Amino acid sequence: MSEGQTAVRTFLIADVRGYSRFTEEYGDEAAAQLAARFADLVADEVEAHGGSVIEMRGDEALVVFSSARSAIRAGVDLQARVDEDAAQSDPPLRIGIGIDSGEAVELGDGSFRGAALNLAARLCGRAHGGEVLVTAGTARLAGRLGGLQYVDQGKVRLKNISDPVQIFKVYSDLDTRPNNRWVLMFFGKQPRRALGWGVAALVAVIAAGTAAAVVFLTTNDHGERGTAAPPTAAAPGTTTASVTPTAGNPRLAQLVPTPLWKDCKLQTVPDPGAVETAVCLPPAGVPDRWQISVYPNGSALNEAYSTELRRHPTIERDTGKCNAFVWGGERPWLHGPGKPGGRVFCYFDGDDAVIVWTHARLGQSNHRDILAMARESGSDHAGLTRWWRPWHHRIGKAG
């Protein structure tokens, strides 16, 4: 097509979230490495879906497709690749994506002019990290796409766009959340048919009534059932905690962010070697259940982590991965380049995905030595990964 002619095209704009803050905190060299990683991921997915990269601006990518279907699939697959990359790097790479279709003019330098680019840019700016937002027009062009779901976000007002724009969030069927979470949590399997509202209410009452009993009657409970052996009891004459929580050694309530702590209850007896242990049962969302213990020092933490890891002899240190695509392995995790945070391993226990990690103090005055583990039913390691990725940096940090 010659210069100046118009055609309907679909534009995808992706932007790295928090890039400026990252640059300020970690410096230009680390930011350049992050941008290069982003560019490689974009190039791979765009090529795989038949698109063309028009321009890379460090933390932003402008891409064009001749097919709306290809553009949407590229956006969802790019987010999946970013999820996989984020699981292997700290802090994780997060991007927002906006997509729109319309007539545009191609200029001699390979760039384009058209309203669709502006609208795609506005949607990109509106998208949270991990989201793909598309206009209703693009969704109509693409039609139904196998393996993907559209979620109507309603009509929104965007800067410098005169009329409200109807938008949709697109996600993979692999990210669909399971239903009947309390039933799954306490009974372990998806019911064959949905419970009536009366029965569901009864189950909820029973669940709420038994939750406290689960917490207070279950001691030394790591949330690990199935083949895992119970924790070894403390030797006669020894205590399970050598340090009492003080201002210098804060309680778990000070180490767990408030939105998470509201679902937690302290066990009457902490795990062996721990100062305090709490079990947390969120009423909805991910995970089904998680647990945290704070330890008096790094040696006690390392021993607790090693003990837990030994219960799973098939998992070797520094092997495998824990992300949305691969679940099974053990590795260190970082707060950022050159900033170690702790260690993590993951595995499947029947239909449950389980992740176990440490957040080590390592001489940092506002960090403490904690061991935590979380469990999610339905083999939903992708959902568990998304929950764990932001929170493991904050759980264990005082203040």
Size (the chain), residues: 399
pLDDT the model gives residue 91: 65
Per-residue pLDDT, 192: 36
pLDDT confidence of residue 399 = 64
What domains are defined for the chain? Answer: 6-175 (3.30.70.1230), 181-394 (no CATH)
The pTM (predicted TM-score) of the whole model is: 0.47
Tell me what pLDDT residue 309 has.
Answer: 95
User: Please, what are the averages of pLDDT over each run of 10 residues along the chain (399 residues)?
Assistant: 72 90 85 89 91 91 95 93 74 87 88 91 90 95 90 87 91 57 30 41 47 39 35 38 47 91 90 92 90 95 95 92 89 84 93 93 89 91 89 87
Q: What is the reported pLDDT for 87?
A: 65
